[in-house]
Amino acid sequence: MKRKDYVSQSELPKWREDNKPASCPLFGIEEFDPVVDHDHVSGRIRAVISRESNAMLGKIENFYKTRGAKAVFTLPEVLRLMAGYLEQESQGPYHPVGTRQVTKRFGRMSKPEQVAILTDLGIEPAALEEAKNSKDRTKLYRSLIVQ
């Protein structure tokens, strides 16, 4: 007699293929290495998702389980709060590490991208003319953000 509410290890590849969505439900990518994700508490299958999103989800769930013992909110609530937090516009001043990060990113940009950013920040054309290379433009950019 076949079990109705269970997928055996040998049936898992077919179940994965039969239930693979057009794109990963978490990352939205169409070309992905599909894996069958399951809830480690209930043991039940949740969905077919990308291997990368499954790894990230596992790390988040394990971190919450081991480090979130004093959390007032459930993991889904924390994730919803995190999404809102990440979507809000940053209002504070530049952080020292953040300054290094954005300056390095600026330095790797093409000249037209750098010029566009500096122009948007109000740099006069004469100052742009003096910044002859990426290093000069990066120094100019950094001087603007650490004023």
What whole-number distance in Å separates Cα of residue 118 and Cα of residue 124?
9
Give the model's pLDDT for residue 139.
95
**Residue-wise over 108-126: b if at least 16 C-beta within 10 A, else e?**
ebeeeebbeebeeeebeee
Give the model's pLDDT for residue 147.
80
pLDDT in tens, 1-32: 566 799 999 999 999 999 999 999 999 999 99
Give the model's pLDDT for residue 108.
97
pLDDT in tens, 36-88: 999 998 999 999 999 999 999 999 999 999 999 899 999 999 999 999 999 99
**pTM summary value:** 0.75
- Mean pLDDT, to the nearest integer, of 115-137? 93
DSSP assignment of 58-101: HHHHHHHHHH-TT-SS-HHHHHHHHHHHHHSPP-SPPPHHHHHH
